[in-house]
Amino acid sequence: LRPSTMIAAMLDWAQSLARHGFERIYWLNGHGGNIATINAAFSEIYHGVTFGSDGSNKQPLRCALRNWWEIAGVMDLCRQLFPVGEGSHATPSEVSVTYFAYPEAIKHVAMSPKIAPTGPIHDAEEYRRCFPDGRIGSDPSQATPEAGEKIVAAAVKGVIAEFRQFAAT
């Protein structure tokens, strides 16, 4: 999606949920490339709340963003499972989660170099040029469904705890 499309969709969802009585929305993100867009969407959502206010003292809509890999304990587990070659894109932890969800789609492909290079990117064209196989600093050949199951379990436990805290405040 273009960032503007994603922002518009998030704004529509948030406004609809708010109209139906929701006061808090917990957004669970699965892709690092979405973070800036989600934060921009929050600005649009909060702008709408501020300028669309009916003048009441009703608590405004609150949003929280959580990236699954930042949940307490998840990255520690990923580093424990994959001490070398975790990288930052097409990582063994990301691929393990996918293998756990879709074991029938597992494919083993030799990649060279074993651990992909790293470096900055500014747009999709540069990304494809610098990282043609999609990996950034990673060695996804280490991925297993069993590791994915452990990562998902840790993420679920963390999401439940964080969501309960968010909902209670």
Q: Do both 103 and 62 map to the same domain?
A: no
Q: Do both 142 and 81 map to the same domain?
A: yes
C-alpha to C-alpha distances, 33 to 68, 103, 121, 133, nearest whole angstrom: 13, 25, 11, 17
Residue 89 in domain? yes
Q: For residue 47, what pLDDT is reported?
A: 86
Number of folded domains in the chain?
2
Q: Do both 65 and 100 map to the same domain?
A: no
Compute the C-alpha angle 121/126/127, nearest 5°. Answer: 65
pLDDT tens string 23-59: 999 999 999 999 999 999 999 999 876 666 566 656 6
pLDDT tens string 49-62: 666 656 665 667 89
Q: Which of 70, 85, 109 is the last residue of a domain?
A: 70
C-alpha to C-alpha distances, 129 to 88, 121, 162, nearest whole angstrom: 17, 10, 38
Task: Give residue 66's domain range.
Answer: 3-70
Q: Is the pTM of this model over 0.75?
A: yes
Q: Do both 64 and 82 map to the same domain?
A: no
Handedness of CA 156, 157, 162, 164 (dihedral sign): positive
pLDDT tens string 102-152: 999 999 999 999 999 999 988 889 999 999 999 999 999 999 999 999 999
Query: Partners of 27 in the beta sheet?
Result: 65
Q: Do both 82 and 149 map to the same domain?
A: yes
Residue 161 in domain? no
Q: Which of 70, 101, 123 is the last residue of a domain?
A: 70
Q: Do both 35 and 102 map to the same domain?
A: no
- What is the H or E stretch that residue 168 is in? helix 145-168
Residue 169 in domain? no
Q: Do both 93 and 111 map to the same domain?
A: yes
Q: Do both 148 and 105 map to the same domain?
A: yes
Q: Which of 21, 54, 70 is the last residue of a domain?
A: 70
Q: For residue 155, what pLDDT is reported?
A: 97
Q: Do both 148 and 79 map to the same domain?
A: yes
